[in-house]
Each structure stands twice: as C-alpha cells, then as structure tokens.
Amino acid sequence: MSRMHASQVNSRNAASVPSTAHLMRWVIMATLPGIATMSYFFGLGVVSNVMLAGIFGLGLEAAVLRLRKRPIRVTLNDSSALLTGVLLGCSLPPASPWWLIGVGMIAAITVAKQLYGGLGHNPFNPAMVGYALLLVSFPTYMTLWAPPQEFIPSHLWAQIAGTLPTAQLDGLSGATPLDAFKHKGEAVLASEFWATDPLPNDTLRAWRWVALAWLAGGVLLLVKRIISWHIPAALLGSLGVLATLFYLSDPSHFASPLFHLLTGATLFGAFFIATDPVSAATSRRGKLIYGAGIGALIMIIRTAGGYPDAVAFAVLLMNLCVPLLDMYSVPRPTGQQRTSPVKPGEQP
C-alpha cells in the first residue's frame, strides 16, 4: 500500500486530489453562484431554503448516527449531509415552508441515505429522493414558483413559517417557463404561444441567468477536477440532440433545444445532481451511458410525461440502472484479450 497520499503531500502538480470532505465542500462552494443568482431574481426565499435544508441535513444526520451508534463528529465533518441539504434547498420553490423542507430532508437523509448504510451506500441520490417525495405528496407547494420579485418579498416570513393561508399562496405563484409551455394546449402553436407573452415579466431571462450561473459552478467543478466531464457532457449532449430532433420534426409544437437546456433544472441537474458519484455509474463508459440516459429521460418526460420538469425522476430512474451499467461496462484491462470477461467459476 502506498505510504504516500495525495491529500497529504504538497505536490507541485495541480493534479493532486483532495479528501472526501474537501470534495463535498468544493461542490457546496460551486453552488454559490447559482444560489446568489437565484436569490437575486427570486428573493431571499432561496437562501432560507438552503439554510433550513442544511440545518435539517446536519441535525438529521447527527440524530441517525446517534441511533446507529456511529461517530458523529467525524461523519458530519465530511459535509455530505450539508451538501444534500444545499442541493435540495436549491431545488425547492423559494421560501418553502419549514415543514416541507423538513419532510424532504427526512426522506433524503434518514431514508435514502442512512437507512441504506450512510455515505457511499445509497443507491439513490438522496436530494432527489427528497424532491420526488415532496413533488408527488405536496404538488400545491412544489409548483409554487413565484415570478421574479423583490429581494425580500412581502409574505416571506409567513411563507417560511407555513402560516400563510392557501388561498393567498395561489396569488403569489406564477408558472415556470417549462410549466407554461407544457400547458399551452395542443391547438396552440409554439409561435402563437410565445406571441401571447405567456410569462410574467422577466421570467425567461431570470431562468436563463440562473442556468448560466449553474453552468459557471459546474465549470468550476470541472476545472478543479472535482467531477469528470463524462456525465454532464453525455447528459447535455443527449438532451440537446433529442431536443433538436424533436424541434426539427415539428418546430410548431416542440420547444427549441436552447429552451430545454437553459430552463428548468437541466444545467443544475447535469453538474450537481447527476454527478453525485455514489449513485452514478463508475466506469467511464458507464458514466457516458448513465448521463445520456438521464438526458433522454428528461426529454421523454418533459414532452410525453405528466410533469413539466423531469430531472429528479430521470436521475432516480437511471440510479436504478447503475448496477446493470456497472456490470456491463467493465473496461478491458491492458493485456486482456478482446473477449467477454471471464464468467464466474470459469478458469481464467
């Protein structure tokens, strides 16, 4: 075994690898541009989401570790629970009530992560399990994206405390671009739809800026070699290609590829969700298939499914395929013959 370790030597080469805790913290850092941009357009509710979810994440993780009689401080220090909180917080509608975030984080940390054995053992992306649970259980709250608004919205505190009457909630919400486009109706052509100016002021611009901010964070992760390019590239590539094909087949009904790439959670999902190494495929070939699968599923669910956006479901569905992908994407080691791998029990 190596007596040297990359995280401990002051190598002159930039290619040294940080420890797990550092990796997690880098990902959290990379979410900051996205969070800042979202807050700028959608108000302080984004920050409250992230902070509440982060606190829930740490608290729940500590509680479960205590029950499991595992070291608490060391494990919390790896920042993975905090990261799950941050990611879920970024996915929820701004200024979500505290109990919504709490329920989501219980599903994410307690069920999806710790019940499976903690960090490294969860087959599903914890943040997306939380998100998917909330989406199917509390659709009213989960589709409540307010249009771009002032930094401190008027009902912010009541919203977070969950004391705002439901009747008033509807007044606050506006449709996301994906949502609006999905429900434009069969008879309406895309050109007609856009001509009606269907979205509140600035909505499309806000979403594009947010998407670009996630892209910036993603590029930071790529440059720091925290994530590899395989999954984001395959995801965006397959989504882009499919969206282009659909668009070219019938531009009057399908949204443009740029619309698919720059609205909704596409870029956030490509760089921050799908790249979660624990629940993704491991080999390079496997990662490419995994990413491409997510991209294809996003496209399919967005155009043919019941939900306007589909990153969470696409990721969870591909998480299911990971064992299969891992099994069939074993690279051929140097020196091995170009044949199928040795079946168990056979003499090598």
- Residues in touch with another protein (CB under 8 A): 1-13, 15, 17-20, 22-23, 74, 78, 80, 118-121, 228, 277-278, 280, 282-284, 287, 326, 330-337, 341-345, 348
- In contact, 127 and 113? CB cutoff 8 Å: no
Question: Quick one: 306 or 345, whose CB is closer to another protein?
Answer: 345
Cβ atoms of 178 and 198 within 8 Å: the answer is: no
Q: How far is the CB of 252 from another protein (least distance, A)?
A: 43
| Contact criterion met (CB below 8 Å) for 144 and 138 | no
CB of 66 to another protein, least distance (A): 18
Closer by beta carbon to another protein, 306 or else 335? 335
For another protein, give the closer residue by CB, 66 or 121: 121
Least distance to another protein from the beta carbon of 135, Å?
26
| Shortest distance in whole angstroms from residue 33 CB to another protein | 23
Q: Minimum distance between the CB of residue 67 and another protein, rounded to whole angstroms?
A: 18
Type of residue numbered 161: A
Half-sphere exposure of 144 (CA within 13 A, CB side): 24
Residue whose CB is less far from another protein, 5 or 66: 5
> Residue 251 CB, nearest distance to another protein (Å)?
39
What span, in angstroms and rounded, lies between the C-alpha atoms of 39 and 35? 6
Q: Closer CB to another protein, residue 189 or residue 330?
A: 330
Helix, strand, coil shares, percent, the chain, to 5: 60, 0, 40
How far apart (Å, rounded) are the C-alpha atoms in residues 322 and 122? Answer: 12
Pick 252 or 336: Cβ nearer another protein: 336
- What is the C-alpha separation between 45 and 340, in angstroms, rounded? 53
**DSSP-assigned letters across all residues of 240-297:** HHHHHHHHHH-TTTSPPHHHHHHSTTHHHIIIIITT-TTTS--SHHHHHHHHHHHHHH
